[in-house]
């Protein structure tokens, strides 16, 4: 299936995932991580985008950023190209370092912004790397709680309305957030735009409100058909407004 157009954010806010080609490790040591962060900061200043959260995860990167001047593709291409040249030179390798174009989703409202922020900071915990996000060196969480000398992120948006202790509680709280995940990005991942077309084709629903108005049986049948058409559970949850728990429970009924 040809890739669909990237969904544009009306406010310029995006959650981005850059991944290594064939899931290859892209950060072999601390020097690599520091180099990437240096380039991220450098081009955020040159290209005029603001970083709101980040996390380096061995073979992929999560970034929550706000585009101000250049389009998102242009801004991140500079970071990726420069880092790939550095990495290939250091490890005497050739070829692409990153898997195709990066994954992204538009972040349109405050509630979803906070979900993405939490998701990014909890990635190392969910991956079993650490027990507390504060213990992970390569994410922006420590910047938010005042335990890092790095100055990559714009923390004011959150900390102007939430105290640090409230931010900590919010971050570690159990949740069923459905945001763009690394597992959503296998080779040839379906775009959200294509997923929306499939959901509308199956149900006739043009938005989450219309989908949520469906009767339970109709909804369950729709979910089964949607997942069978290649839409991921995370995508279905984001687009329909139902939680991943509800979708998984529906799928279990037929197994």
| Sequence ranges of the domains in the chain | 13-172, 190-252
Q: What is the pTM of this model?
A: 0.71
- Which residues does 58 contact at the CB level (< 8 Å), separation at least 6? 25, 26, 27
What letter does residue 14 receive in the DSSP assignment? E
pLDDT digits (tens, 9 = 90+) for 10-64: 678 899 988 887 778 899 999 999 999 999 999 999 888 999 999 999 889 999 9
Q: Which fold has domain 13-172?
A: Alpha-Beta Plaits (3.30.70)
- Which residues does 44 contact at the CB level (< 8 Å), separation at least 6? 50, 51, 65, 152
pLDDT digits (tens, 9 = 90+) for 204-247: 998 888 888 898 889 888 888 888 777 888 888 888 888 888 88
């Amino acid at each position: 299936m040809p890739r669909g157009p990237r969904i544009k954010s009306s406010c310029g806010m995006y959650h981005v995932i850059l991944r290594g080609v064939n899931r290859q490790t892209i950060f072999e040591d601390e020097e690599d991580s520091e180099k990437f962060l240096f380039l991220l900061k450098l081009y955020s200043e040159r290209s005029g985008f603001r970083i709101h959260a980040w996390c380096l995860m061995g073979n992929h990167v999560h970034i929550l950023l706000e585009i101000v001047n250049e389009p998102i593709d242009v801004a991140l291409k500079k970071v990726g190209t420069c880092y790939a040249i550095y990495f290939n030179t250091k490890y005497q390798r050739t070829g692409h370092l990153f898997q195709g174009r990066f994954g992204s989703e538009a972040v349109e409202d405050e509630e979803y912004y906070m979900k993405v922020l939490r998701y990014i900071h909890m990635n190392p915990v969910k991956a079993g790397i650490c027990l507390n996000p504060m213990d992970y060196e390569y994410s922006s969480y420590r910047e938010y709680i005042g335990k890092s000398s790095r100055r990559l992120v714009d923390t004011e948006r959150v900390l102007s309305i939430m105290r640090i202790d409230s931010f900590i509680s919010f971050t570690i709280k159990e949740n069923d957030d459905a945001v763009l995940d690394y597992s959503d990005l296998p080779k040839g991942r379906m775009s959200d735009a294509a997923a929306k077309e499939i959901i509308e084709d199956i149900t006739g629903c043009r938005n989450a409100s219309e989908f949520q108005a469906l009767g339970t049986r109709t909804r369950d049948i729709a979910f089964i058909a949607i997942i069978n058409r290649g839409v991921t559970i995370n995508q279905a949850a984001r687009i329909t407004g139902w939680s991943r728990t509800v979708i998984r429970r529906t799928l279990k009924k037929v197994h």
